[in-house]
Structure 1
Amino acid sequence: MSEKKLRPWVKLVLELGPIALFFAGYVKLKDQVFVIGGTEYDGFIVVTALFIPLMLVTTGLLWGLTGKLSKMQIATVVLVVLFGGLSVWLNDERFFKMKPTMIYLLFGGLLGFGLLRGQSYLRAVMEEALPMQAEGWMILTRRLCAFFFALAVLNEVIWRTMSTEAWVNFKTFGLTAALFLFFMTQGGVLSRYAIEEEKKD
């Protein structure tokens, strides 16, 4: 299936919509307890159970509308189903809270493996959208690898030492802001090693 162009706002809604709805659902249901099949489930578990099919639907829509999914999107939805499903099945919110840790360890580990081989796997994924010299890709890859490992550690610290509400706020706003700020601070590397396309008469 060939890749199709998608309006940026549609892509943004499909990617960030589930996270926003998870936060809104948690805020509304966090203090409630639901009895299903004779078992009590708190609001967090119920919202997690709703979040899983929502992620599957929006990811499916992205694939249907664009004809393509990135490896990061596929890995994310697989881990959502795995850890979210474990949380719901075992009625234990800890598994879902561990999901960001696993995601960032996976991404950091893949980038680190590439670096050990003298390669930038980040370049292989983003080179078409962001032409840059090889040295620039290696610098950006090393920084992003370290950043992913730092986020994994930070997520573990927060969910293990703080309340569920604090973790939900961190997951919804903190991780998004951290990723945005990281790439904002890499402007120097992006401009220094950028490859300008040759103009053709």
Structure 2
Amino acid sequence: MTDTPPEQPRTAPANNRAWIRQAVDFGALVAFAGAYVFLRARGLDGREAMVQATWVLVGASAIALIVGYAVERRLAPLPLLAGGFALIFGGLTLFFHDPSLLKIKLSIQNGLLAAVLLGSLPLGKYPFKYLLGDSIKVTDQAWRGLTLRYGLYFATIAVANEIVWRTQSDDTWVAFRGIIWVAACVFGLLQIPYILKHMIKDEEPGPVSPDPGL
């Protein structure tokens, strides 16, 4: 819910760090969804259950940022963006007791990413290289292609989220959020052949998820 100086070749520990980051980000989503389902089972309506589950989301997002910093000794751009948005909109949701603020977060976050990525193309700039430059090392032509692909992906998610949260129930939106995470993983895997084709060196790309998280 992304240039820099040339990086050193990826190592096994770097791949491990990427997997840890993915697991932590996924854990925050699972914690939120689990809390929501539990509260619904306890008899809370969808609106109240989502507000209460947001406490879990805020806590899990803070933990994700801490773990990410502990693992990488820095706050990587995408996790920082996802965690920051989750903390800000989660806090607003709790303050105003309005779950629509949490729902619209996904639209704003992905819409902003889409605008930055797609808007950079006519300028010949590739901010996506900054976001993922430590994960993969490809030619500028590939960065342009990835920037376009991910820009369109983020725009699609933003539009889809607007349609779902404005027309469907809270239960459906929570399920949709889980589907989005799966779609992000699938989309990332589908980019691997393209990445391998344009690798500067013979490196194995790590897991790259376009979804910045809940």
**Do Structure 1 and Structure 2 share a fold, with TM-score over 0.5?**
yes
Aligned residues: 188
Q: TM-score, normalised by structure 2?
A: 0.78
Structure 1 stretches of 5 or more lacking a match? 35-40
Does the 8 Å contact 2:114/2:152 carry over to 1? Answer: yes
Distance 2:130 2:89 in 1: 28
Matched, 1:192 2:197: yes
Quote the residue 2:100 is aligned against.
94
Question: What's the % identity of the aligned pairs?
Answer: 22
Q: How does 1:1-201 map to 2 (within 5 A)?
A: 7=17, 10-30=20-40, 32-33=43-44, 42-172=48-178, 174-197=179-202
Q: TM-score, normalised by structure 1?
A: 0.83
Distance 2:149 2:107 in 1: 18
Instruction: Indicate the structure whose relative CO is greater, using CA pairs within 8 Å and at least 6 residues apart.
Output: 2
Give the number of the structure whose alpha-carbon radius of gyration is greater: 1
Q: For residues 110-163 of structure 1, what are the alpha-carbon distances to aligned partners after superposition, in whole Å with 9 as ceiling and x for unaligned?
A: 212321311111123323432211111111111110110010000110111111
Distance 2:40 2:80 in 1: 29
Distance 1:188 1:33 in 2: 46
DSSP-derived class of the 1:30 partner: helix
User: How much is the aligned-residue C-alpha RMSD, in angstroms?
Assistant: 2.3
Q: Label 1:55 to 1:127 Cα distance change in 2 as closer, same or farther (>3 A).
A: closer
Deviates more, 1:186-195 or 1:145-154: 186-195
Quote the residue 1:38 is aligned against.
none
- Cα distance, 1:101 vs structure 2: 0.8
Structure 2 stretches of 5 or more lacking a match? 1-12, 204-214
Deviates more, 1:100-109 or 1:142-151: 100-109
